[in-house]
Amino acid sequence: MLTLQFPGAQRLVDALDAAICRDCPTEITDQLRHTLCRLIRDPEVRLPDCVFEPVGDHYARRELYRSDEHGYSVIAMTWGPGQGTPIHDHAGMWCVEGVWYGLLEITPYEMTGNEENRYRFESRGTMIAGAGSAGSLIPPHEYHTICNPSDNDVAVSLHIYRGPMTCCSVFRPLENFWYERDQRQLSLDQTH
């Protein structure tokens, strides 16, 4: 179901449908990652204007497409200057994320401890990802943060999830590198 109309929308859907017809999550995410990198550079695919409009107090999530046949969903995220996420998971779903516009700072984490509802994480390095780049997350390697490092510019990313992502766990810092887990309901932002 195409939620938003935009130039090249059917081209994007057809390419993602072809990429998703694989047997295992690694094959699916590898193919989606390559496909997404091509689509970002395809001049015939232009995301709707609304995805370039930030929301003042949080990063924006706008659904572009949800596949009735294959179950995956495509969310455009708009990151205003300095906007980002805490450490979070993807509710056990694989995901492919591509930077459509601007730059994003991405830090993957590995959970290294879990006791009495407290969690410990270790950073696996931080990278700056530019337009045209894409990465994937496959549980249990799904913990990360995303941030727009710019003081002035908007960034836009496209996220392809195994299914509709309506909630996730976020991890808030405690003391001595421990974190507590909260459940977050995820909503979609309005489109104009």
Confidence category of residue 164, pLDDT binned at 50, 70, 90: very high
pLDDT, residue 190, reads 79
Q: Domain ranges for the chain, please list them.
A: 9-185
Q: Does domain 9-185 bear CATH number 2.60.120.10?
A: yes
92-121: per-residue pLDDT in tens? 999 999 999 999 999 999 999 999 889 999
pTM confidence score? 0.93
| Whether the predicted pLDDT of 192 surpasses 70 | no
Q: Mean pLDDT for the chain?
A: 94
CA distances in angstroms from 69 to 19, 20, 91, listed in the order given? 14, 11, 21
